[in-house]
Amino acid sequence: MTMTMEKNMRKAKRTIRRFLREQKALAATEFALALPFLLTLYLGFAQLARVDAYHSRVGDTASTINDLVAKLPQVGTAQLDAVMLAGAAIAGSIGPQIQVQVIGVSVDDQGDATVLWSRGRNATPPAAGLPYDLPDSLTNEAGFIVVTKSEYNYDWSPTKFAPMPPVNIKYNYYHVPRSSDITDCVGCNT
C-alpha cells in the first residue's frame, strides 16, 4: 500500500510540475482572472464616451435654438416650435427626449428679472409674470434676455439588474436680442 501511495504522490508531483512549467496554462489562468476587470474597464469607458457625446449634443441644441431666436425681433408660436424642432434634430437620436425651454426675460433697473413669455418642448416653462433667477452678471443693467434651457436624462444602466442613477445633462444659454431691444413672442404664454 505504501508503494501505491508513493507512486501516486510522484505522479501528482510530476503533474503539478508539468502544469507549472506549461506557459499556456499560466496564460489562460491570468487571462481568466484579468478578463472581468478589462471588460468592466472597456464598458465603463464606452459609457463615458457616450455621455460626453450626449453632453455636446444637448449643449449644441440649446446654443442653436438660443442663437436663432435672439436674431429675430418677433417670433410666433409656430416659428418657435419649428426652431425647437430643428434644434432637437441637431441632437440626433436623443432629440425626441430632450427637454427645451425658450424664455423671454425682462430685467428692470433694480436688476429684477421677470418672465415676459415662454415656450417649451417636452418641458413646462415658467409662466409669464413670474420672477426669474438669472446669474448676477446678467442683472447688472436693464434689458431683455433670451434664455434657452435644454435638459436630457441619460439612463446608462447596463442592465435592469444593476440599476444606476441617470445622468442629468443640462445647459442654459443667454443672449440679448440682436436686431431689436426685445424679442417679442406672439401667442406665447404672455
DSSP 143-168: EEEEEEEEEEEE---SSTTS--PPEE
The reported pLDDT for the residue numbered 44 is: 80
The reported pLDDT for the residue numbered 161 is: 65
> Residue 86's closest CA among 116, 66, 56, 70?
66
Q: Each residue of 81-137: pLDDT tens digit?
A: 999 999 888 888 888 889 999 999 999 988 899 999 999 999 999 999 999 999 988
The reported pLDDT for the residue numbered 154 is: 87
The reported pLDDT for the residue numbered 159 is: 64
Q: Report the b/e string of 102-122 with b at 16+ CB within 10 A.
A: bbbbbbeeeeebebbbbbbbb
The residue assigned the cell 464606452 is 46
The reported pLDDT for the residue numbered 160 is: 63
Q: pLDDT under 50 in the chain at which residues?
A: none
C-alpha span between 112 and 123 (Å, rounded): 24
C-alpha span between 49 and 39 (Å, rounded): 15
Q: What angle do CA 6, 23, 42 make, to 5 degrees?
A: 130
- DSSP three-state, residue 110: coil
Global pTM reads 0.77
